[in-house]
């Protein structure tokens, strides 16, 4: 898949028009059309697209990893914070093993899906209890 195809994937996923994306990243509509058809965009367009739409520049360039720009450290920290909040909700001491187990499950889910719904949180919490 080309960089332009990844531009197209994100644009369609966000329900955006080509003209809106082109304007937002500072290129002509025709240039965006060409990129989406397979022409290599310049680094400035890739960087602008990455910043405006919160997409990983590495993913745009290589197709590897996740499209969202959130770092693994950030995802892990969010997983542990969510696990801690759930496990300590009753005021009891939290066992490190339980925190690691639940944090790991949340981290894996977030890596695969990016976000976690309240319903899925409850399922993961129930599995880890």
Where is 113: in which H helix or E strand? helix 96-113
Say if pTM beats, i.e. exceeds, 0.75: no
| Coil, helix or strand at residue 80 | helix
Give dist(CA 55, CA 66) in Å, integer.
Answer: 9
pLDDT at residue 70, as a whole number: 61
CATH superfamily of 3-62: lambda repressor-like DNA-binding domains (1.10.260.40)
Domain boundaries, given as residue ranges, for the chain = 3-62, 72-128
| pLDDT mean by block of 10 residues, the chain; 129 residues | 92 94 96 95 91 86 77 71 77 76 78 73 69
Nearest to 111 by CA among 100, 119, 103, 99: 103
């Amino acid at each position: 898949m080309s960089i332009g195809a990844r531009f197209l994937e994100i644009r369609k996923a966000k329900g955006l028009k080509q003209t809106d994306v082109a304007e937002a990243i500072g290129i002509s509509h025709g240039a965006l059309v060409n990129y989406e058809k397979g022409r290599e965009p310049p680094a400035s367009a890739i960087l602008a697209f990455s910043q405006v739409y919160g997409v990983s520049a590495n993913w745009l360039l290589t197709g590897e990893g996740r499209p969202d720009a959130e770092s693994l450290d950030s995802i892990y920290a969010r997983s542990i914070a969510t696990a801690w909040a759930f496990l300590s909700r009753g005021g009891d001491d939290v066992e490190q093993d339980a925190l690691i187990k639940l944090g790991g499950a949340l981290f894996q889910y977030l890596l695969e899906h990016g976000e976690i719904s309240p319903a899925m949180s409850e399922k993961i919490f129930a599995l880890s209890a």
